[in-house]
Amino acid sequence: MPTILGQNQYGKAENRVVKITRDGATHHIKDLNVSVALSGDMDEVHYSGSNAHVLPTDTTKNTVYAFAKEYGIESAEQFGIHLARHFVTSQEPIHRARIRIEEYAWERIETSDANSRFIGADEVKHSFVRKGQETRLTQITFDGENWEVISGLKDLVVMNSTNSEFWGYVKDKYTTLKEAYDRILATQVASRWRFNWTDDEQKMPNWEKSYEQVRKHMLQAFAETYSLSLQQTLYQMGARIINNRSEIDEVRFSLPNKHHFLVDLEPFGLKNDNEVYFAADRPYGLIEATVLRDGCEARIPVDLTNL
Ligand SMILES: O=c1[nH]c(=O)c2[nH]c(=O)[nH]c2[nH]1
């Protein structure tokens, strides 16, 4: 049966690019997921395997990262226009470019007044929480006498664009990780906290206020901790909650380390001055721990998915 080639397109999908613009101590984030689809005079690569007209998908990926540095990311639209124009006007066989972009919005974490005064108001402008993401959770157990209330949240995504280091770790023959003295720290918080309320209806916590306050302390501790590891940040987040919320005795966290790797732009003659990152989604470090009020028992399950 004779066959002919129908519609075709190709490119690199889901290039996760994070651009940090540093305006002194105030940082701005653009976080995009960019998919490139090119089409044009591409019959031969399908029919005979000749790659003579094929700009590699790997190159389209590099172009996304290089353009983030060269032109910046003012808006997703502007960035997409630059890319589409570039592919169509620079390569004769490419007649059409379709750039699809998802943008993830970030809001600044408001830091506590006390701490702003302590570290200087302009040093806290590098901490962000991703908009509209988290799910609030609770589990109530009653055996006819006693209650156990464990509440929590998942999918609260946060980022510090500076004030994070990681060095001084164990090195064996398989260690290749470079020590980091100024890295991005980002995680998607899953957390559960256990209330010490068990029976007295008169002394029931204000659940709404408690949630709002726990979330606030968690975010502020994330923002205000100068981090030497995600483990240290986790402990500070838990301790801040226990120290400020007398109704809670135990907090557990499961924190994936959402790695952001600096993109090597040297091959394109560009210097990456801690500006353009590849946001990797897997594999990820997974840091988990419980923080307890001294003398209290750990009852939240180790594996939060079992809750
Ligand atoms: O904060 C971190 N903790 C680790 O245990 C770890 N391991 C690693 O490779 N990177 C990091 N970062």
Q: Is the pLDDT of residue 116 over 90?
A: no
In three-state secondary structure terms, 204 is coil
Distance CA 54, CA 74 (A): 29
Residue 244 has pLDDT above 50, yes or no: yes
**Confidence class of residue 114 from pLDDT cuts 50, 70 and 90?**
low
Residue 113: the pLDDT is 64
**Strand 276-279 to strand 15-23: parallel, antiparallel, or no bridges (unpaired)?**
antiparallel
Q: Cα of 146 to ligand 1 centre, how many Å?
A: 40
Residue of 69, 125, 258, 259 with catalytic role: 259
Pocket lining for ligand 1, CB < 6 angstroms: 166, 177, 229-231, 257, 285
Q: pTM of the prediction?
A: 0.92
Q: What pLDDT score does 89 carry? A: 97
List the residue whose alpha carbon is closest to atom 8 of ligand 1. 285
Compute the average pLDDT of residues 249-255.
Answer: 98
Q: CA of 62: how far to CAs of 12, 19, 272, 287, in Å?
A: 10, 14, 13, 31
Write out pLDDT tens, residues 68-82: 999 999 999 999 999
Angle between helices 207-224 and 230-244 (to 10 degrees): 140
Structure tokens at 35: 């998919």
Separation of CA 283 and ligand 1 centre (Å): 12
Using the mean position of ligand 1's atoms as its centre, give its distance from the Cα of residue 153 in Å: 23
12 is catalytic: yes
Tell me, yes or no, if 217 is annotated catalytic: no
Q: What phi, psi does 268 have (nearest 5°)? A: -105, 15
Answer yes or no: is pLDDT of 122 > 50. no
Which of the residues 28, 57, 59, 216 is marked catalytic? 57
Tell me the C-alpha distance between 37 and 225, whole Å: 42
List, for residues 268-292, the tens digit of each pLDDT value. 999 999 999 999 999 999 999 999 9
Alpha helix segments (H runs only) across the chain: 43-47, 57-70, 76-90, 113-119, 207-224, 230-244
Tell me which residue has its CA closest to atom 7 in ligand 1: 285
Over residues 102-119, the mean pLDDT reads 77
Q: Answer yes or no: is pLDDT of 124 > 70.
A: no
Q: What integer pLDDT is reported at residue 115 of this predicted model? A: 59
User: Stretch 110-125: mean pLDDT, rounded?
Assistant: 61
Does the complex come out with an ipTM higher than 0.85? yes
Known catalytic residue at 141: no
DSSP string, 219-243: HHHHHH--BS-HHHHHHHHHHHHHH
Question: pLDDT, tens digit, for every residue of 153-204?
Answer: 999 999 999 999 999 999 999 999 999 999 999 999 999 999 999 998 899 9
Whether residue 207 has pLDDT greater than 80? yes
